[in-house]
A and B are shown apart, each in its own frame.
Chain A
Amino acid sequence: AAGVIQSPRHLIKEKRETATLKCYPIPRHDTVYWYQQGPGQDPQFLISFYEKMQSDKGSIPDRFSAQQFSDYHSELNMSSLELGDSALYFCASRHRGSGANVLTFGAGSRLTVL
């Protein structure tokens, strides 16, 4: 079965650089969520999109932005990177009609900021 695809799997950037992470949800899933998991930490909700509109916002820094495109894939754009942005970034998707909160997670994109 198709899963949530994230790219790149690993990314190394320097401070003050920008980075873009991509997420391709499971086909027919209309909602995408982004989470950030720092080293040894629990996943923290950043932002979500439903039908290409932002549906909820969590602890996403102002330096970050995201959007969902017409094909339902989503991109997380991170600017002015800081050392503390080093983390595993998970994308999850669901189909709203499938029942509450059944999220399927991708393998994650590991960002290292040097």
Chain B
Amino acid sequence: AQSVSQHNHHVILSEAASLELGCNYSYGGTVNLFWYVQYPGQHLQLLLKYFSGDPLVKGIKGFEAEFIKSKFSFNLRKPSVQWSDTAEYFCAVGGGSQGNLIFGKGTKLSVKP
């Protein structure tokens, strides 16, 4: 069965600190991987996606993620976080022709100014 596991429930960082959010997936087939961000009270917005090719993917707002097939991982990184990055981050996997996504439980990021 498809599943997504996010390692951290809540991460608290100070501004300018580096960020890495873990994501592992279980999927039997060609996989597409995503990171979505949900700012407080808002809808899900796509940060970045991986379909194929270069395993290091760059997204919006300085975020990047690395697909490591051998580890079934797709960790999200940002070298220096800002207070405005405070949000909840969801890793998602999809691969079927129907297109629906399976989300992880989410990681809440709080950045202290």
Contact = CB atoms under 8 A, between A and B. Distances in A.
Contact of B100 (A33, A102, A105, A107): A33
Query: Could you tell me the dominant secondary structure of chain B's interface residues?
Result: loop
A100 interface: yes
A43 B32 CA distance: 17
Interface string B73-90: 000000000000000001
B44 A100 contact: no
A3 B39 CA distance: 17
A58 interface: yes
B98 A105 contact: no
Interface of A: 31, 33, 41-45, 48, 50, 55-56, 58, 90, 92, 94, 96, 99-108
Interface string B3-20: 000000000000000000
Contacts of A58: 100
A100 B51 contact: yes
B106 to A, nearest CB: 5
Contacts of B99: 31, 33, 48, 94, 96, 100-101, 103
B69 interface: no
